[in-house]
Amino acid sequence: MVKVVIFDVGGTLIKSPLVTPRIFDINNQLGLFPADAVTHDGIWQLFTQLGYDLNLMATPQEELDSYKHVLQELIRRYNPSLADELTPQQLAGLVNTAAEYVLTWIDNAQLHTESLSILQRLQADDIPLGVISNWPSRLRHVLQRLQLTDYFQHIVISSEVACAKPDPHIFHIAADAFGVAPSECLYVGDNLEADVKGATAARMPVYWVRRYPQQQNHAYAGPQGETLHGLLPLALASAG
């Protein structure tokens, strides 16, 4: 029996605010490093190599500093001559501009088309709603700006609980907040590793929203669909 529906945010309710595409976008404008010098995965690996986990950053300043450090390292590795062409002040200004762009774009992420109507329908049926998200603490600001905060009774953010998906513990934190067993929740997410496998390991039923073409080839046979609409029969049929 579904007593609670819990949502992921990035990619599920809002259009995915991925960091690496924004770094490439601003690099195309500023020319900080050769565009073909590094891949999206390479940039993610660089965050890890430098000791950063965006999911656990508690303040916007921490996040901004990590972007600056990563951008500086990309320049050092792939375009060291830029430091000779510019003054230190000019180089720092470019890095600051790029880092601010990444931070601001993420804060301006927009809802997927059907997200609001799905939340309204579930709320109208008195189904308690929650969030589990791997996100810096700025997520509360993002939800408030999108006028979503009041839909959720509990919001569990990785940066606030020092635990990130796919660790089953973060799913248990959310279930405990509602006072229900994980098996009495329906979790809705878009990421096969973090959301589907994480919730499954926590023994929490999952609806996988597959929004991207690369998600078509997979072995997962559980409830799934290309929009959020497919979760309604699961939530409404057994809601108690």
Write out the two tokens for 166.
């796919």
Give the pLDDT of residue 45: 93
Name the β-bridge partners of 126.
none
Best CA proximity match to 21, nearest among 76, 80, 101, 113:
101
User: Residue 162: how many CA atoms within 13 Å on its side-chain side?
Assistant: 0
Quick one: the chain helix, strand, coil %, rounded to 5? 55, 10, 35
Q: Would you say residue 146 has pLDDT above 80?
A: yes
Look over the chain and give the mean of its residue pLDDT values, rounded to a whole number: 92
DSSP secondary structure code for residue 136 in this structure: -
Write out the two tokens for 182.
């994980």
Query: pLDDT category, 138, cuts 50, 70, 90?
Result: confident
Give the pLDDT of residue 60: 87
Q: What is the pTM of this model?
A: 0.86
Give the pLDDT of residue 216: 63
**pLDDT digits 0-9 by tens, 46-55:** 999 999 988 8
Query: Counting Cβ atoms within 10 Å, is residue 154 exposed (0-12), middle (13-18) or buried (19+)?
Result: middle
Kindly state the percentage of the chain with pLDDT values over 90: 74
